[in-house]
Chains A and B, each alone.
Chain A
Amino acid sequence: MSKLKTENLTRRFLGLVAVNNVSFSMEEGEILGIIGPNGAGKTTFINLISGIIMPSEGLIEYKGQDITYIPAHERARMGIARTYQLIHPLENLTLIENVMVGSIFAKGNGLKEARRRAEALCQELGLTGLDRDTSRLTILEIKKMEIARALANEPEVLFLDEVMAGLNADETKDIIAMVQKIAQERHLAVGVVEHVMGVIRELTHRVIVLEAGELIAEGKYEDVSKNPRVIEAYLGGGAA
């Protein structure tokens, strides 16, 4: 049984079909790349899976259970976590408190236990100065905090929406290694959206390619990157 799968998942915004009839599945321990030109529907796809928006049509199944219309906070409790392309730190909470939120509400831990777990997570990701305001963090620290916040849910499925954007080469390497280690140790299924193909090549076991909301290719990065339709989508793609 797949960890997560969708069938004919579709989401329309007025006239625009942002996600069009997408069927895919993800297995435990797998790092899946989700690529495609700007506006292809990658973020919308993650929004649908995490329950931030509801689909127009189709089905989402998590560990064999239909979760298509389950609210986002319940999916977080069931084990689906994500980060945001547009970072959303909780600016009136400190770094450690930001990380505690998921532990408190997605896992139902008390404040003391949540703090203990959040501290352990921060240590694992190399975050220090835990009582700082989020306005005092560097971009790398913010990105790590966003990953820590998602991991605080103790998820089984994790989506990372362009976490490496804005980072330099060394920082990117740092995060790639971190994601690999996290995924392996926790047996996570990870979905990674990135525009830098080097990152996708290095990090993922398999990729799916979206274009104008449709899934146009699927397979190992090496094969998919030679697919004429994919090359066409990237070269001829409107926004990118």
Chain B
Amino acid sequence: MNRNVSRIFAALFGILAIALPLFAGDYPLQVARNIMLYMALAITWDMLLRSGQISFGIAGLFGVGAYAAILGVIRAGMPAWFSIIFAAIFSGVVAFAIGFLILRLRAMYFSIVTLALGEIFRIIIHNLHDFTGGPEGVVMQQGVIFGGSAGKLYWLTLAGLAVAIAASYWFEKSKIHFALTAIRNNEISAKSSGVNIFRWLLLAFVVTSAIQGLLGGIFVQSYGFATPDTVFSADFTLLPLAMALLGGVYSTRGPIFGAILLGLVSEWLKLKIPYGHLVVYGIIIIIVILFMPQGLKQLVRQPANKTDRRSA
């Protein structure tokens, strides 16, 4: 696609996204909000993936942020806007601490541990009944942000998405791109080029976790309550992952396309067949992974005409 054409498209899309609450009703706004939330999570998942680390811990850090925000309001009397920033900081600090333990792990071991982390957070919140409200969760009586206005909540989520997109571009355009790609391609030769692998992995893990926490804070401010089962739902891990895979990984654009497509399709299916959308959706993912390992991006790019390399 021509660079300028795609830029114009992106600009138009951005304007449309910002202006949507001026003419759309509550239902489309609700759908759009959902899609943007998952899109932002998909982007953060991809950002860490660029280092070769596959995380199943999105829901964990999202949930930690969600609880940090709601408990910040209820227990510490934080203003609503500040609780969202606090959520980001809290998830970032948690990621920093556990990063020291788990970022020495690779491949499957890393993935499984991140999956377990989410479960551990959920259990902790379950059991700290007096502080967290336990399995029944907590409700914000007052201090819901914007008094629950649909349009303003939409813009809040859009702002969260903007943070994720901006961070992703930062990763793409700075030396972080070189560090993460080198680590993903070959850790040994990355080291020989002076890349401090642990440091860059920690940076990527903390930044993506902080944004996941931020989104958790936005989510909980949008609904005014949190229970362990809602905010640590596996959906927050699996849907973003599927969206990024569908759209194409290692880029900002891929997860955006994937989220729009999968978000709209699953919304439409939800109306047609209750719960059936999950099945259809699973099938889509399997087909994509089997036949289009690079996601939809593959359709846009020309197939590489690679010359054979003489073997050494």
Residues of A whose CB lies within 8 Å of any CB of B are 50-52, 71-74, 76-77, 81-82, 84, 86-93, 97, 100-102, 104-107, 110-111, 133, 135-139, 142, 149-150, 152-153, 165-166
Please indicate the chain A residues that have their CB under 8 angstroms from the CB of B181 in the complex. Answer: 90, 92-93
Alpha-carbon gap, A160 to B263, bound state (A): 52
Q: Are B306 and A153 in contact (CB under 8 A)?
A: no
Instruction: Give min CB distance, B254 to chain A, whole Å.
Output: 14
- What is the CA–CA distance of A81 and B193 in the complex, to the nearest angstrom? 8
**B185 contacts A92, C-beta separation under 8 Å:** yes
What chain B residues lie within 8 Å of A93 (beta carbons)? 178, 181-182, 185
Residues from chain B with Cβ under 8 Å of A88 in the complex: 185-186, 188-189
The stretch of B30-38, B135-143, B194-202 in contact with A is: B194-202
5 A-B residue pairs with Cβ-Cβ distance under 8 Å, sorted by A, are: A76-B192, A91-B185, A101-B194, A142-B309, A153-B192
Interface on B for A, CB 8 Å cutoff? Answer: 174-175, 178-179, 181-182, 184-186, 188-197, 250, 304, 306-307, 309-312
Shortest B179–chain A CB gap in Å is 7
Determine whether the beta carbon of A90 is less than 8 Å from that of B189. yes
Most buried by B among A72, A89, A135: A72
- Judging by beta carbons under 8 Å apart, are B312 and A106 in contact? no
Distance A199 CA – B181 CA, assembled complex (angstroms): 35
Contact of A139 among B179, B182, B309 (CB under 8 A): B309
Question: CA of A166 to CA of B311 in the docked complex: distance in angstroms?
Answer: 8
Give CA–CA (A50, B188) in the complex, Å.
11
Docked complex Cα distance between A52 and B190 (Å): 11
The reply to whether A105 and B304 contact each other, CB–CB distance below 8 Å, is no
Shortest distance from the beta carbon of B144 to any chain A beta carbon, whole Å: 44
Residues of B within 8 A of A100 (CB): 178
- Pairs A-B, 8 closest by C-beta atoms: A106-B194, A105-B194, A76-B194, A88-B189, A72-B191, A166-B312, A102-B193, A90-B185
Question: Known contacts A92-B184, A93-B182, A111-B175: does B310 contact A139 (CB below 8 Å)?
Answer: yes
- Cβ contact within 8 Å between B178 and A104: yes
- Name which residue of chain B comes closest to A150, CB basis: B192
- CA A51 to CA B193, docked complex, whole Å: 12
A216, B93: Cα distance in complex, Å: 54
Known A73-B190, A84-B192; 10 more pairs at CB < 8 Å: A76-B193, A88-B188, A90-B186, A93-B178, A105-B179, A105-B195, A136-B306, A139-B312, A149-B189, A150-B192
* Across-interface contacts of A77 in B (CB, < 8 A): 194
CA distance A239 to B50 in the complex (A): 41
* Contact of B310 with A92 in the complex, beta carbons under 8 Å: no
CA distance A136 to B189 in the complex (A): 20
Report the minimum CB–CB distance from B177 to chain A (whole Å).
9
Are B192 and A52 touching (Cβ within 8 A)? yes
Closest A residue to B189 by beta carbon equals A88
Known interface pairs A101-B193, A133-B304, A152-B193; A111-B312 also in contact (CB < 8 Å): no
**C-alpha gap A138/B307 in the complex (Å):** 9
> In the complex, A87→B309 CA distance in Å?
12
Q: In angstroms, how far is the closest chain B Cβ from the Cβ of A104?
A: 5
User: Which residues on B sit within 8 Å (CB–CB) of A52?
Assistant: 188, 191-192
Across the interface, which residues of B come within 8 angstroms of A74, CB to CB?
196
Best-surrounded residue of A50, A73, A165 (most CB of chain B within 10 A):
A73
Chain A residues with CB under 8 A of B184: 92
A135 cross-chain contacts in B, Cβ below 8 A: 304, 306-307, 309
Check if A73 sits within 8 Å of B195, measured CB to CB: yes
Give B183's nearest chain A residue, CB to CB: A90
Q: Select from chain A the residue with minimum beta-carbon distance to B184.
A: A92
B178 touches which one: A81, A97, A165 (CB < 8 A)? Answer: A97
Asked if residues B306 and A101 are in contact (CB atoms below 8 Å), the reply is no
Q: How far is the CA of A73 from the CA of B188 in the complex (A)?
A: 9
